[in-house]
Amino acid sequence: MVLVGESAKGRKGVSAGQAKRLLKLVDDDWCGQRILHGLSSGEGLIWAVRDPIEKLEPVRERGKPTGEYETVIVDQGESDKRLFVLEAEFALILRVLNRDGNTLSATIRNAWDTGDLRILTKNSPAAATGAHISIVAHITKNELLRYLDSTETANGFGNRFLWCCVRRSKLLPEGGDAAGIDWNPMVEELREHIELARRTSEIRRDDEARQLWAEIYPDLSRGKPGLLGSIVGRAEAQTMRLACLYALLDHSAVIRAEHLMAALALWTYCESSARWIFGDALGDPLADELLRALREKTNGLTKTEIANFFGRHRRGPEIGRALGSLLEQGLASFEKEATEGRPVERWRATERQGEKSELSELSP
Tell me the pLDDT tens digit for each residue of 135-179. 999 999 989 988 887 667 667 899 999 999 998 887 777 777 777
> How many alpha carbons lie under 13 Å from residue 267 in its C-beta half-sphere?
33
Give 50-69 pLDDT, tens digit per residue. 999 988 888 888 888 888 88
Confidence band for 363, pLDDT divided at 50, 70 and 90: low
Question: CA 183 to CA 179: how far, in whole Å?
Answer: 10
Whose CA is closest to 241, among 112, 139, 129?
A: 112
Whose CA is closest to 236, among 224, 252, 225, 220?
A: 220
Confidence band for 312, pLDDT divided at 50, 70 and 90: confident
Question: CA 233 to CA 224: how far, in whole Å?
Answer: 8
Confidence band for 246, pLDDT divided at 50, 70 and 90: very high
Percent pLDDT > 90 in the chain is 55
| Residue 347: count of CB within 10 angstroms of its CB | 21
Question: CA 113 to CA 125: how far, in whole Å?
Answer: 21
Q: Is 53 helix (H, G, I), strand (E, B) or coil?
A: strand
Domains of the chain: 1-50+78-181 (3.40.50), 197-279 (no CATH), 285-349 (1.10.10.10)
pLDDT at 337 over 90: no
Give 105-125 pLDDT, tens digit per residue. 999 999 999 999 998 877 778
Question: CA 4 to CA 144: how far, in whole Å?
Answer: 8
Give 196-217 pLDDT, tens digit per residue. 999 998 999 999 999 999 999 9
* Interval 328-335 mean pLDDT: 88
At 205, the amino acid letter reads R
Give 260-285 pLDDT, tens digit per residue. 999 999 999 999 999 999 877 777 77
Q: Residue 155: phi, psi to the nearest 5?
A: -85, 0
Whose CA is closest to 145, among 287, 276, 295, 9?
A: 276
